[in-house]
Structure 1
Amino acid sequence: MTNGIANTQERRIREAGLAPYFENLFISERIGARKPEKAFFDYVAQHIPNFDRHQSLVIGDSLTSDILGARTYGLDSVWFNPQHQSNQTTTKPTYEIDQLAALKKIV
């Protein structure tokens, strides 16, 4: 799930060698809605077979799009915060990590 221009986001995934690990890329430009909008998350939920909010986890580095969208939609969230920024918002992630390896303990 990403906000942004489809061609740019797809190129980044390919160049990072991550494309084989994804069945779908949910890109705001193609969906016609952006995170944290409910319409974005509705679209994603409708396009994942057997989607279950209780078995879903949003991982992101933006409190105002990733984490807020997840919380508003009733999903658990992980704020990836490698720079140890202070949270100046009222949005509270379910988890906070500073390195991706820490995801192993969560999932």
Structure 2
Amino acid sequence: MRNPVIDSVWEQIRHLEMGGAAAAQAKLQEVVSIGRAIHAAHGEQVANEIMDYGLIETALYRCRQIQDHELNGIGYDELQIFYRYATSAMSRAQTVIDTHYAELGL
């Protein structure tokens, strides 16, 4: 990818404080944009397969909810679970995009 999604901003998502919520929101918007670009170029099925059927978006959204203290009873441990899933899934998505869909210029 021209601009990898997983970068120093992405790394901030793992923090409950220190800009974690802002990073999660920024990366959520970026992931949504990538999914839309893939959908527009190759259709819903391809976008779903690459972007893990919206689960990357959901995990980032949950990270932001945890950071904003919107979900009672869950905190740091759950943040790490959602963060690690999103990181792993987005890493796989970036590899697929780089390998098979470089023409999209993402």
Structure 2 length normalisation: TM-score?
0.23
Which protein, 1 or 2, shows the higher relative CO under an 8 Å CA cutoff with sep ≥ 6?
2
Structure showing the higher helix proportion among its residues? 2
Q: TM-score, normalised by structure 1?
A: 0.23
Choose between structure 1 and 2: higher strand proportion: 1
